[in-house]
Amino acid sequence: MNVLLLTTYMHGGAGVACRRLQTALTESGETVNLLTMDQTPPKWPFYAERLSFLPYERDKSVRFSFSLANFGHDLRRHKWVQEADVLHLHWVNQGFLSLKNIRQLASLGKPIVWTLHDMWAFTGGCHYSGECNRYQKSCGQCPYLRSPGPKDLSYRIWQKKKEIFPPGIQFVTCSEWLAGESRSSGLLKDYPVSSIPNPIDTRLFQPLSETDRAAFRQAQGVAPNAVLVLFAAMKVKEKRKGFHYLLDALCRLKSAYPDLPVELLVLGQSEPQELEALPYPFHALGMVRDVSQLVSVYGAADIFIIPSLEDNLPNTVMESLACGTPVVGFRTGGIPEMVGHLHEGFIAPQQDAEALAQGLYWVARGEMPIETLRKAAREKVERQYSNSIIGNRYIQLYRDLLTGIYSPGNSTLPGE
């Protein structure tokens, strides 16, 4: 097969997942190309897309949380598009593909797979809906908009999607949580929806030796007896990543167990004033993109904490588990699917900082032997998320589409 993956960026969660899928499929012997916006000039659709939302946005904090998909690129004549047997869309917003462009690709008659990395495909424009469930009917009264109303911009985009989405798209979600949300939506309820996780290369992401763990910690100035907690976010201040809940949990932990020697590793963009409120010593690492460095960070940590309020199937959780580091987080999105409570880590109720603190203490004080947790974390990834397993699942899906085994009117694939 010749498969074309399409995603807006090479970076970011969706871009990383897409590149990993390309590797997994290539290792299985398929011909796979990856097309991004950087390879499809001109750049004006990105700016047009951003500017078109400015009159509607509630404030600049939601500027990248809502997409209209009015502007993009007509790729029907692109060499890779014409050569492909299967077109596989991923995250295509911010001026890469418009709704019209998706319809144009469908007109070529090739099978289209669309892996969803957030909720956008079935909402009136938001990427995560929070507590709003109006997407289940027709949107409207959108909290992201300056002037919400029954037939506001979100309602109009929802209706446009209903009219323009081509029949026969095979939707895939990275988590069972997102699959359930998709099937409950008014837009996708009549489309086939399957759940296939993102892959990870378990040869690259693997546990560190004790010697390497000690060397990394020493190089960072971490105390030998410290319980090292890792937090990661592209931008620490992004509200949905839950840093304020982490701060609350850490303050509770320090108050309840003042002798617990905790230190923090912080991955991602942050401001000094954001981190100065932490009640423990911290080491701000900034953005780390080199895989070998990331493996050292994950492998040296004792706990990875993810207090996200909205998330799908975070690459950071998978990377942590692959490196044998247990995870503490909220019951958010697909996180509970990745982390078995009291098995690969600790899952706290949403927005419960006290439970999050107790989860940190449960791991730190060895309520279950740390080596047992580490082993379970690694085995979970090898069993469910390795390149060969996920690559083969997608290959089977492509083959079923090409041979016409599934019907566009079905909500699931045969055997599910």
Question: Which tokens is 169 given?
Answer: 């798209």
Cα–Cα distance for residue pair 384/338, rounded to 1 Å? 9
- Kind and range of the H or E run holding 229: strand 227-235
Which residue, 55, 332, 32, 77, is CA-closest to 181? 332
Cα–Cα distance for residue pair 212/234, rounded to 1 Å? 26
Cα–Cα distance for residue pair 256/266, rounded to 1 Å? 23
Cα–Cα distance for residue pair 160/165, rounded to 1 Å? 8
The domain made up of 2-199+386-403 has a fold known as: Rossmann fold (3.40.50)
Residue ranges of the chain that CATH labels 3.40.50.2000: 2-199+386-403, 210-384
In the prediction, which pLDDT does 197 show?
Answer: 97
In the prediction, which pLDDT does 163 show?
Answer: 96
Q: Name the burial class of residue 259, with classes exposed (0-12), middle (13-18) and buried (19+) by CB atoms within 10 angstroms of its CB.
A: exposed
* DSSP-based helix, strand, coil % in the chain, nearest 5: 40, 15, 45
Per-residue pLDDT of the chain (416 residues; tens, 9 = 90+): 999 999 999 999 999 999 999 999 999 999 999 999 999 999 999 999 999 999 999 999 999 999 999 999 999 999 999 999 999 999 999 999 999 999 999 999 999 999 999 999 999 999 999 999 999 999 999 999 999 999 999 999 999 999 999 999 999 999 999 999 999 999 999 999 999 999 999 999 999 999 999 999 999 999 999 999 999 999 998 999 999 999 999 999 999 999 999 999 999 999 888 899 999 999 999 999 899 999 999 999 999 999 999 999 999 999 999 999 999 999 999 999 999 999 999 999 999 999 999 999 999 998 899 999 999 999 999 999 999 999 999 999 999 999 985 444 333 333 33
Contact 227, 364 (CB under 8 A): yes
Question: Which tokens is 44 given?
Answer: 């004006």
Q: Name the burial class of residue 384, with classes exposed (0-12), middle (13-18) and buried (19+) by CB atoms within 10 angstroms of its CB.
A: middle
pTM for the model = 0.93
- Output the CA–CA distances (angstroms, integers) from residue 350 to 333, 403, 413, in the order listed: 10, 43, 32
Q: How many residues does the chain have?
A: 416
In the prediction, which pLDDT does 366 show?
Answer: 85
Contact 175, 312 (CB under 8 A): yes
Q: What is the CATH number of domain 210-384?
A: 3.40.50.2000
In the prediction, which pLDDT does 405 show?
Answer: 57
Quick count: other Cβ atoms within 10 Å of Cβ 138? 16
Phi, psi of 33 (to 5 degrees): -115, 155
Phi, psi of 189 (to 5 degrees): -60, -20
- Kind and range of the H or E run holding 327: strand 327-330
Q: Work out whether the CA dihedral 163, 169, 173, 176 comes out positive or negative.
A: positive
